[in-house]
Structure 1
């Protein structure tokens, strides 16, 4: 029966099984600091958020879970970030087993690679890059936090947060230090923590294929079109996002007002970077101006890049849509990026994905606005954060109703796998059409 499943169906079922196992482990009494079993819906929510590398939490990770529970969470993050097929391949390579054609297809789907050619060789590089980046960041953060927390706790915090931030998960342990759901607010002015965390988020968000391309070619002119689009779009969104947040929050006494100019710039960049689906924050998001909150919703909806640990409609989709808009305004028939014309199917896929995502966010937000006693902007922020697997919140996650938690965890699941992957997995098989209908014309606009 497993052989009949398509790669998309296998990914959906695989992620669901990992979440189920994680839920069972987090419900064990010794996973909770209270010594009592966590409610099923709360354990399921936490396991989904960790596996889908989101970061939304209904109970504080640092104060509510024992070391065992925290290790379960970080393992789910690592598996969810790199993809369960990546870990299956890693074990197979370690045991010197041959990777079958079906496993290569699954790995291609999991990594969102363009072709199956050299997929195992690509995976070896990606695994090396991922663990090296996490290792280096863990060492730096461990040294920094050892001054504040002691050597043993500093090392533990360094490893946990390096894995969490590189996989764009946003889970943190500072609830046991600075108060529940405090995230990294106590380090808003810390240049080391901010720079390292931002670097982890960006590297995890640009995608493994881009990382491999950059490491191999080392010249922007030699990069593939995909890499050029990802790097330029990511850079633009980060800088533009930081500028807008800096302007809107400069005089806000509840957020960036008390910081000096350097602190304001640092906080602006951090909040802009973290909308790349990371989930950490250094200022109180519920105190941001509504204009800033809505702008962050837009950034979260765009999300990270294909083949990365992040969610959203992806930077490439956003660029294709902007390219279509500019081409239409200029009266051009083709979308041209870096002297390359895009195929029509890329444009249709970008439009389809965006409409799927927009429809999902709108429907879930409308339903939650009837089940939750919160402002619509806070609900829209929460839903977009869940879809983009961001993990940022205006403080409503812990108080969600059971219906609200289920809707949000389903949104996280869809956001991690991608709306199109899920639609293909549950939809009917595509049969090739044997004929085409005559072309018709309708008036647009």
Structure 2
């Protein structure tokens, strides 16, 4: 037994951070699938297949919100609690939760664990990782508690106090972690509350703060001035604001919805997945707007997915600098060439994943339109959860494609690539030669 444990420790020590994070997420997903298949998790008279159990677990851990079966109608209180815990673990990240458990046990956090947090949170240095995790856990608790209290005032008007409390806690966890799960039943999501200002604004607030990223929130709390913020925080806040406003205006112009509904869907499309209007009835123009928002997604170090707002910010500044024949810069700061290369790499790989998954889905699901399948795949990759309503009717093969797309979207394309091989750059380089571009 000791030999097996020692071999296991040596195996994990030799793995790269990207590979360990990938294995951690995969382990949590498989564990969640098994728990959701247990009789204690399934309501009497309901049936949950292995593929739907795996789909639900993946969607929860990847904080997506796409559902193959109705969460309220198929799972018991225990099952719904498992889903909420999976969402929380997926939103915070396996490494952050692991470090939190180590701290709660009073043990010392080692260098390997700090390195994993650095990789998962996408920060530059390794200094202050433990303190960062503590801040993340406390911020999560504060935001989710506030969200649950505000949501309770809405849900208690229709449900008993105990049921309203459970729904409020679940909704707050799902909203802050940018996961579009609901336990209201009937696959209605938040459509019955499309005119409820308090719930709409509370949900939007949770989604926005969850999608900004913990590093940005800490920077804002520390400086309390936009001018003194670091370049990353400025880029994230500015891009997020522009996307929310632009999305609201475009959705209002393309769909017969209220301004509140347009604002909610613009915010939700940035990886949350809640809907107050039936997405399946949206026009092609409206679906295209949502697809763009879903592909861009939230911000680095947040609970959301997509290529990230900072990536989009860098790409736009590259276009501007190229057009004006200047260095790529913003807010009187030059953007490093390494960051520019990384932004293009992430965008290209992400687009490649969406294109390939959409092509495969077009082959596997010929009964659905290209727009429906593109929307579904983009939603899965961006870990959004919005759907035109085709998810429950997908074939087993189609669901497996969506599961894989959600998994890649949550981990990030660069993490998936670097998990296979991570080598230090060679000192010797080949002779440089020009290639004509454009």
Give your verdict on TM over 0.5: yes
Partner of 2:222: 216
Q: 1:28-58 deviations in whole A, cap 9, x for unaligned?
A: 1231224565211111110000000000000
Match of 1:397 among 391, 395, 404: 391
Q: 1:4-37 deviations in whole A, cap 9, x for unaligned?
A: 1111111000000000100001111231224565
Partner of 2:349: 356
Match of 2:207 among 198, 201, 205: 201
Query: How far 1:85 sits from its partner (Å)?
Result: 1.4
Match of 2:428 among 418, 435, 438: 435
Superposed, which structure 2 residues align to 1:173-322 within 5 Å? 173-175=183-185, 180-249=186-255, 252=256, 256=257, 264-322=258-316
Root mean square deviation, CA, Å: 1.0
Q: Contact 2:223/2:229 (CA < 8 Å) preserved in 1? A: yes
Unaligned 5+ residue runs, structure 1? 257-263
Partner of 2:373: 379
Q: Contact 1:29/1:36 (CA < 8 Å) preserved in 2? A: no
Superposed, which structure 2 residues align to 1:163-178 within 5 Å? 163-175=173-185
User: Aligned equivalents of 2:210 and 2:260: distance in 1?
Assistant: 20
Query: How far 1:439 sits from its partner (Å)?
Result: 2.2
Partner of 2:8: none
Q: 1:188-245 deviations in whole A, cap 9, x for unaligned?
A: 1100000000000000000011111111111111111111100000000001100000
Superposed, which structure 2 residues align to 1:79-228 within 5 Å? 79-175=89-185, 180-228=186-234
Q: Does 1:60 align with 2:70?
A: yes
Q: Contact 1:6/1:425 (CA < 8 Å) preserved in 2? A: yes
DSSP 3-state at the match of 1:11: helix
Unaligned 5+ residue runs, structure 2? 1-10
User: Aligned equivalents of 1:440 and 1:235: distance in 2?
Assistant: 42
Q: Contact 2:47/2:74 (CA < 8 Å) preserved in 1? A: no
Q: Does 1:410 align with 2:404?
A: yes
Query: How far 1:3 sits from its partner (Å)?
Result: 0.6
User: Aligned equivalents of 1:390 and 1:228: distance in 2?
Assistant: 24
DSSP 3-state at the match of 2:158: helix
Partner of 2:23: 13
Partner of 1:327: 321
Q: 1:357-414 deviations in whole A, cap 9, x for unaligned?
A: 0011001101101111100000000000000000000001001111100000000000
Q: 1:417-437 deviations in whole A, cap 9, x for unaligned?
A: 0010011002x2313223222
DSSP 3-state at the match of 1:279: coil
User: Aligned equivalents of 1:347 and 1:174: distance in 2?
Assistant: 44
Partner of 1:261: none
Q: Contact 1:27/1:37 (CA < 8 Å) preserved in 2? A: no
